[in-house]
A and B are shown apart, each in its own frame.
Chain A
Amino acid sequence: MNQALLLAQLPGLRRYARALTGDLWAADDLVQDTLERACAKWTLWRVGSDLRAWLFTLMHNLYLNQRRSAPAASARVDLADVEDDLPGETTPADVGLDLDRCLQRLPHDQRAVLLLVALEDMSYQQVATVLSVPVGTVMSRLSRARSRLRELMDGAEAAMAAPRPVPLRRLK
């Protein structure tokens, strides 16, 4: 395993982790844990096999473990629920923020599939291998993810396009 080759994988891993977890801090933690796991399990990687796929598989398994052991941590205030109350003009940055927020509202297994396909250009078979599910499952999660994300984004855009006076509401 060449050092330069491994380091070249890191930016892609960071970006995927960021999109998956919704948070740069959590993302870099996840990548760090993945690399530590890769260190401990280095004998499992066969020379000449797909290093990138192996790292993504490790990272995904860690992500699932983390979710299982700390479900409370992923419950955050959903800004989309209160954003109607927040004034402001739409900027291009907002669209990116919306996409990120809407992504976070997808179930994580749908989000993972969508990101591996769209962000990482993995084939459906590669995604199936990384996630340890049949290809059929990849396709149905992909359909649900794309449909749901489209609904969420259309909803978000509609909310942005209709500016209303800010009612005074108390946030609980």
Chain B
Amino acid sequence: MNTQHTREGLTEHELHALVDGLVSRAEADELQGRLRSDPDLAATVQAWRSQREALRGLHGELLREPVPAPLRAAGDRVAARHGRDQQWWRWGGVAASVALAFSAGWLVHARWPAAGPQFAAAAPARSFAHQATVAHAVYMPEVRHPVEVTAAQQDHLVQWLSKRLGRPLRVPQLSAQGYELVGGRLLPGDDGARAQFMFQNAAGDRVTLYVGAIRNGAASSRETAFRFTEDGPVPGFYWVDRGFGFALSGKLPRAALLALATAAYEQL
């Protein structure tokens, strides 16, 4: 293993981990302290940090603009191929064929139409997502009481919240992304009680998973596509599945949030 040491005894790994924010606050302070006596290396870390920020701003418009129709269609084929595309057919024949016609025929404009089978589901889901981000902002800064029941009593936590929400809940495992469960709490909601699970990584960053019943307007559209929201105090991804809303919120870049939301989705 290559552990090239720099003048200050910082390994290559530590140097990059410091730049990329992959260390805990305590470790970062310690490393930063060691850098103080090596101004050249400290300058390098600073330069690499700015470089990282500049890179993260590159081609941001590609994240925000709609995906061109041919790519969307190719993506649809992958999902269909895997054969687990149940919600597509659950919309019912007419709605599905309308959506298919749009995706196949919309060649001139790359814009996906806002009106469509999902439109009726959008407003309650969006409001749910917004409430998730507000709840995140309220509890995230808490040092002593971030949660009501801690991860030490995870079984009890899950049992309790499942009972109150009226549906068996599961806590996703986010340790592959570096996040551990802190605990959870019960919150009020429009269509019944809601649950908030909080996760934290080594650097102290926190994300929350917000779960609860959503009563959509249109009975047929009980599933919402994976959506990104930037309206609230923090960004997040949200989706609706069989009458329940799920929202993953945190003050993280989109790619990191997507990785976490994807992992949560796949397990819930």
Contact = CB atoms under 8 A, between A and B. Distances in A.
Given A2-B84, A2-B85, A12 B237 contact: no
A10 interface: yes
A19 B58 contact: yes
A33 to B, nearest CB: 9
Contacts of B63: 11-12, 15
B80 interface: yes
B81 A42 contact: yes
A50 B78 contact: no
B55 interface: yes
Interface string B82-107: 10110110000000000000000000
B258 interface: yes
A119 B56 contact: yes
Given A1-B84, A4-B225, A15 B62 contact: yes
A83 interface: no
Q: How large is the interface on A (under 10, 10 to 19, 20 to 34, 35 or more residues)?
A: 35 or more
B102 to A, nearest CB: 14
Interface string B47-62: 1100110111111101
A109 interface: no
Given A28-B71, A150-B47, A150-B51, A3 B58 contact: no
B126 interface: no
A119 B255 contact: yes
A88 B85 CA distance: 53
Interface of A: 1-12, 14-15, 18-19, 28, 31-32, 35-36, 38-39, 42, 45, 47-48, 50-52, 95-96, 99-100, 114-115, 117-121, 123-124, 134-136, 139-140, 142-143, 146, 149-150, 153
Interface of B: 1-2, 4, 12-13, 15-17, 19-20, 22, 47-48, 51-52, 54-60, 62-65, 67-68, 70-72, 74-82, 84-85, 87-88, 176, 178, 223-226, 228, 237, 239, 252-256, 258-259, 262-263, 265-267
25 contacts: A1-B84, A2-B84, A2-B85, A4-B239, A6-B79, A7-B76, A8-B226, A9-B262, A11-B62, A11-B63, A11-B64, A15-B58, A18-B59, A35-B74, A38-B78, A42-B78, A45-B82, A99-B55, A117-B16, A121-B253, A121-B256, A124-B13, A136-B1, A142-B16, A146-B48
